[in-house]
């Protein structure tokens, strides 16, 4: 299917849909200049992200882990939401029944104005107390290398789902509902490799949804979806709301 006609098909589906769900991944943030923090992008002082984003690493050396998250915060603090983030906010305003599921922890969707969302991997601008469990916003840049809870004085940790940890049950429940009820699922800037999000397109498809993918390159999900558009999220997503 040609690029133009494929885009037209997605716009036709949006014109008659009532319930919209959007799933986003690192590709949408990459268009704002946010590194993926995995692979070569994630290398910091010869540590890989997979070595630092674990409960074991934090238990062993919380100062080192916080230094790494401070470095990430300083990078992300210089970035702004792009046109794809802003278009998703417009979709939220246009459709009363809308839900955004993001794998990104950079907070750019919230900065753009998204409010109906699940940040399934957490948010780098939130901290969680290892003692009393309270979760609070924290935009400190730089952040103390060992921040402590103002309520109980226990050590704070990033409010991030680390390797080896499970997603929050409430997020999984919300995502399941959004995927099974939607007329359309838009999958934007995600490689379709990391589970459970890699299985979300299949869940929506099985429930009868029209599934469209926007990504720089084909993914393992491309053969499953109804329409696959190749290109940058910041260029293609805004076209979804342009008049035909």
Which token pair is 96? 């009363």
Residue range 146-169, pLDDT digits in tens = 999 999 999 999 999 999 999 999
* 215 neighbors 188 (Cβ within 8 angstroms): yes
Tokens 């401070």 map to which residue? 70
pLDDT at residue 161 in the model: 96
Residue range 214-231, pLDDT digits in tens = 999 988 888 899 999 999
pLDDT grade for 114, boundaries at 50, 70 and 90: very high
205 vs 222: CA distance, rounded Å: 13
Q: What is the average pLDDT value for the chain, to the nearest integer?
A: 93
Q: Where are the domains of the chain?
A: 3-34+81-121+167-241, 39-78+129-160
pLDDT at residue 191 in the model: 84
pLDDT at residue 42 in the model: 64
Of 221, 234, 186, 175, the C-alpha closest to 24 is 186
pLDDT grade for 244, boundaries at 50, 70 and 90: low
Beta bridge partners of 213: 187, 228
pTM given for the model? 0.94
- Is the confidence at residue 1, as pLDDT, over 60? no
pLDDT at residue 44 in the model: 81
Mean pLDDT for 176-192 is 95
Cis peptide before 91 (omega within 30 of 0): no
pLDDT at residue 219 in the model: 87
- Is the confidence at residue 192, as pLDDT, over 90? no
Of 242, 187, 181, the C-alpha closest to 219 is 187
Mean pLDDT for 64-70 is 96
- Is the confidence at residue 2, as pLDDT, over 80? no
* 183 neighbors 196 (Cβ within 8 angstroms): no
Query: Environment class of residue 244 by beta-carbon count within 10 Å: exposed (0-12), middle (13-18) or buried (19+)?
Result: exposed
- Is the confidence at residue 84, as pLDDT, over 90? yes
Phi, psi values for residue 178, rounded to 5°: -65, -40
70 vs 66: CA distance, rounded Å: 6
Q: Hey, which residues are catalytic here?
A: 121
pLDDT at residue 64 in the model: 96
Same CATH fold, 39-78+129-160 and 3-34+81-121+167-241? no
**What CATH number is given for 39-78+129-160 in this structure?**
3.30.1600.10
Q: Which helix (H) or strand (E) holds 5?
A: helix 3-16
Better-scored residue on pLDDT, 221 or 171: 171
Residue range 12-57, pLDDT digits in tens = 999 999 999 999 999 999 999 998 766 566 668 778 888 999 999 9
Class of domain 3-34+81-121+167-241: alpha beta
pLDDT at residue 3 in the model: 60
Please compute Rg for the chain using Cα positions. 18
pLDDT at residue 41 in the model: 62
Q: What is the DSSP string of 76-134?
A: HTT----HHHHHHHHHHHH-SEEEEEE---S-HHHHHT--SEEETTEEEEEEEESSS--
* 234 neighbors 227 (Cβ within 8 angstroms): no
Mean pLDDT for 54-66 is 97
pLDDT at residue 220 in the model: 87
């Amino acid at each position: 299917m040609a690029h133009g006609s494929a885009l037209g098909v997605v716009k036709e589906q949006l014109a008659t849909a009532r319930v919209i769900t959007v799933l986003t991944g690192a590709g949408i943030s990459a268009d704002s200049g946010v590194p993926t923090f995995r692979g070569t992008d994630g290398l910091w002082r010869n540590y890989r992200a997979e070595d630092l984003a674990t409960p074991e690493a934090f238990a062993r050396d919380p100062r080192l882990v916080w230094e790494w998250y401070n470095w990430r915060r300083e990078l992300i603090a210089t970035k702004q939401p792009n046109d794809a983030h802003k278009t998703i906010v417009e979709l939220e305003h246009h459709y009363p029944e809308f839900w955004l599921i993001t794998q990104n922890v950079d907070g750019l969707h919230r900065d753009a104005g998204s409010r109906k969302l699940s940040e399934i991997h957490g948010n780098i601008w939130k901290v969680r107390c290892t003692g009393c469990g309270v979760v609070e916003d924290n935009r400190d840049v730089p952040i103390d290398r060992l921040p402590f809870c103002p309520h109980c004085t226990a050590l704070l940790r990033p409010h991030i789902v680390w390797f080896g940890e499970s997603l929050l049950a409430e997020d999984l429940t919300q995502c399941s509902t959004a995927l099974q009820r939607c007329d359309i699922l838009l999958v934007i800037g995600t490689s379709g490799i990391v589970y459970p999000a890699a299985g979300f397109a299949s869940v929506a498809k099985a429930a009868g949804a029209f599934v469209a993918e926007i990504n720089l390159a084909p993914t393992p999900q491309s053969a499953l979806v109804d329409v696959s558009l190749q290109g940058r999220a910041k260029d293609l997503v805004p076209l979804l709301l342009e008049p035909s």
